[in-house]
């Protein structure tokens, strides 16, 4: 377990350095787009509050996991709770943005599509992490057995024969736990479905929120991309943060004990060890990216950031 954690921290440090270098501040000409700047500060502040609340709830679940429910089912929900905090903060912040006011209101024919705002690389990571998490939980459920208290899926049981000195070949049955079978997989699956639904709501709110000003659409679109990136990042932290410990438990069980589960389980043991390192390191790096809030700085004569692709949002709709 210690080597896996060390490698995970190394991966997190390397990935985190790359993420931080890419988070350059946006410079906007002083005095321009005050409504958009106010929306930027408000939405960022609400996402930060949501992240703080998510961290607090996740810490509470970690503490509860050692007291109220020592078997670890509450502890396993900590990454999902952290991500949910960011999503709730994003929803509240985006809904607080008001449409541009004034005597004259104009309508916009902007495309309403979240696909124009999604960060491609991070979306691919989220998709891959989700698929791997589903595969890991399904495999753990299929291979799991009940423990001595009858709790389904908490142990990996394997039978084999070993050659003991002086006794010849002896039939041995070994059990290793905790194993992330149905006892853990069911509540984790429910939590992942819930946070996925919350993420869909957050993305819809971001896409459909009104423009805070009739000008500065490029700057406002950039803010939407930041919000979407944080939502996708929170979902990815939840998925990878859950996948890492699940894979680590599977790797330790599959690569230990005198009984060999065959080629399939042997290969699965090494694959889950690699996935545990990559997933845990990626979750920590992305969490650092969420903590590093993107900055907007006023600057003399600085142009507003251009909008690439079709404008997305509610524009000047009342």
* pLDDT tens-place string over residues 89-113: 999 999 988 766 544 444 444 555 7
Give residue 316's pLDDT band: very low, low, confident or very high (50, 70, 90): very low
Residue 318, domain member (yes or no): no
- Cβ-defined contacts of 197-201 (< 8 Å, 24+): 198/84, 198/87, 198/88, 198/91, 199/87, 199/231, 199/232, 199/234, 199/235, 201/87, 201/91
Give residue 85's pLDDT band: very low, low, confident or very high (50, 70, 90): very high
Residues 6+ apart with CB under 8 A from 50: 85, 86, 87, 88, 89, 90, 92, 93
Return phi, psi of residue 237, to 5°: -60, -45
Residue 210, domain member (yes or no): yes
Give residue 20's pLDDT band: very low, low, confident or very high (50, 70, 90): low
Residue 29, domain member (yes or no): yes
For residue 31, what pLDDT is reported? 60
Give residue 5's pLDDT band: very low, low, confident or very high (50, 70, 90): low
For residue 149, what pLDDT is reported? 86
Residues 6+ apart with CB under 8 A from 275: 132, 136, 243, 244, 247
Residue 315, domain member (yes or no): no
pLDDT greater than 70 at residue 42: yes
Number of Cβ within a 10 Å radius of residue 216: 24
Residue 283, domain member (yes or no): yes
pTM of the predicted structure, to 2 decimals: 0.82
For residue 102, what pLDDT is reported? 45
| DSSP 8-state assignment for residue 214 | S
**Rounded to 5°, angle at Cα 94 from 89 and 97:** 130
Residue 311, domain member (yes or no): no
Span 225-267, pLDDT tens digits:
888 999 999 999 999 999 999 999 999 888 887 777 778 888 9
For residue 104, what pLDDT is reported? 43
Q: How many domains does the chain have?
A: 1
Distance CA 136, CA 123 (A): 20
Residue 248, domain member (yes or no): yes
By DSSP bridging, strand 156-164 and strand 168-176 are: antiparallel
For residue 185, what pLDDT is reported? 94
Consecutive H or E run containing 175 = strand 168-176
Structure tokens at 79: 């990454």
Q: For residue 140, what are the domain limits?
A: 2-100+108-299
Share of the chain above pLDDT 90, in %: 34
Q: Which residue has better confidence, 190 or 109?
A: 190
By DSSP bridging, strand 296-299 and strand 26-29 are: parallel
Residue 25, domain member (yes or no): yes
Least confident piece of the model among 60-69, 95-104, 114-123: 95-104
């Amino acid at each position: 377990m210690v080597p896996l954690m060390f490698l995970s921290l190394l991966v997190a440090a390397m990935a985190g350095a790359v993420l931080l270098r890419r988070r350059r501040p946006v410079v906007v000409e002083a005095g321009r787009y005050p409504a958009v700047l106010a929306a930027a500060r408000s939405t960022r502040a609400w996402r930060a509050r949501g992240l703080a609340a998510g961290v607090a709830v996740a810490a509470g679940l970690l503490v509860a996991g050692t007291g109220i429910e020592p078997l670890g089912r509450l502890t396993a929900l900590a990454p999902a709770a952290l991500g949910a905090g960011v999503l709730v903060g994003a929803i509240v912040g985006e809904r607080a943005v008001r449409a541009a006011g004034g005597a004259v209101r104009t309508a916009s024919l902007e495309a309403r599509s979240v696909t124009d705002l999604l960060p491609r690389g991070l979306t691919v990571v989220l998709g891959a992490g989700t698929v791997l998490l589903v595969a890991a939980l399904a495999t753990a459920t299929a291979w799991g057995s009940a423990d001595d208290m009858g709790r389904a899926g908490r142990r990996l049981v394997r039978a084999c024969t070993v050659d003991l000195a002086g006794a010849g070949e002896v039939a041995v049955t070994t059990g290793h736990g905790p194993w992330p079978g149905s006892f853990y997989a069911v509540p984790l699956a429910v939590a992942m479905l819930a946070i996925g639904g919350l993420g869909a709501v957050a993305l819809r709110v971001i896409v459909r929120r009104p423009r805070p000003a009739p000008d500065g659409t490029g700057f406002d679109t950039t803010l939407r991309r930041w919000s979407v990136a944080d939502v996708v990042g929170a979902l990815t932290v939840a998925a990878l943060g859950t996948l890492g410990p699940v894979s680590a438990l599977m790797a330790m069980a599959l690569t230990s004990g005198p009984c060999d589960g065959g080629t399939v389980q042997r290969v699965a043991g090494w694959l889950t060890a690699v996935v545990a390192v990559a997933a845990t390191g990626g979750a920590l790096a992305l969490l650092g990216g969420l903590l590093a809030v993107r900055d907007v700085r006023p600057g003399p004569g600085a142009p507003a950031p251009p909008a690439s692709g079709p404008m997305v949002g509610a524009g000047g709709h009342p």
